[in-house]
Amino acid sequence: MDSLQSFLAKLQSQNPKYMAQWTPQQIQGEFREARFFVIPQIENPQALALVRSFPGEPGKGDVTFIAVAKTYQGQGLGRELFKQICEGGFSDLTVEVHADNEAGKAFYLALGFEPSGRRPNYYGPTKDALLFRYQVPAG
Ligand SMILES: CC(C)(COP(=O)(O)OP(=O)(O)OC[C@H]1O[C@@H](n2cnc3c(N)ncnc32)[C@H](O)[C@@H]1OP(=O)(O)O)[C@@H](O)C(=O)NCCC(=O)NCCS
């Protein structure tokens, strides 16, 4: 678990503009509270996602963190993480993205997420968050 926590800190430092800069205590808390998904394995992580669930609402989740190490981006690892999350039992997912994170927005749209709202000044003055939602198609 320590290796995953330092990997998360590394991913944040690679993406200072769009990744929440959690303190080490907050990172520990996030790993306690959220389910994590990692590719390809904990000992040698290349991509990581954290998803919080909602008590009493099975299938529902909020993606609080998802990132692929820079050298592995554009090779399908993000899509693979998403597949793992769905296979892990999540069928109704929400996520917040910086409004100017073009790669993040394109990524979620490519996965089938749909825009579901906007939170003005969420990340700071004039830094809006866009909300996206994915629901497994019925049937
Ligand atoms: C966003 C991120 C997780 C995507 O991971 P990735 O492994 O590079 O994405 P994949 O290779 O699995 O691509 C999946 C789909 O997203 C699209 N996509 C990914 N990055 C993209 C980009 N920079 N521009 C346009 N589309 C992109 C791809 O076209 C692909 O679609 P396809 O499978 O239909 O061809 C990665 O770029 C990243 O870690 N970014 C920094 C952190 C971040 O911004 N996280 C998301 C916001 S919270």
Q: What is the CATH number of domain 2-135?
A: 3.40.630.30
> How far are the Cα atoms of 5, 10, 36 from residue 14, in angstroms, in the given order?
14, 6, 19
Whether omega before 58 lies within 30 degrees of 0, making that bond cis, reads: no
Report the Cα–Cα distance between both ends of the chain, in Å, rounded: 37
Read off the pLDDT of residues 63-90 as tens digits, 9 standing for 90 and up: 999 999 999 999 999 999 999 999 999 9
Nearest residue (by CA) to ligand 1, atom 16, is 107
Q: Can you give the residue ranges of every domain in the chain?
A: 2-135
Q: In b/e form, how buried is each residue of 29-41, taking b as 16+ CB within 10 angstroms?
A: ebbeebebbbbee
Residues with CB under 6 A from ligand 1: 15, 18-19, 66-68, 73-79, 97, 101, 103-104, 106-107, 110
pTM for the model stands at 0.95
| Confidence band of 138 (pLDDT split at 50, 70, 90) | confident
Read off the pLDDT of residues 13-67 as tens digits, 9 standing for 90 and up: 999 889 877 888 999 999 999 999 999 999 999 999 999 999 999 999 999 999 9
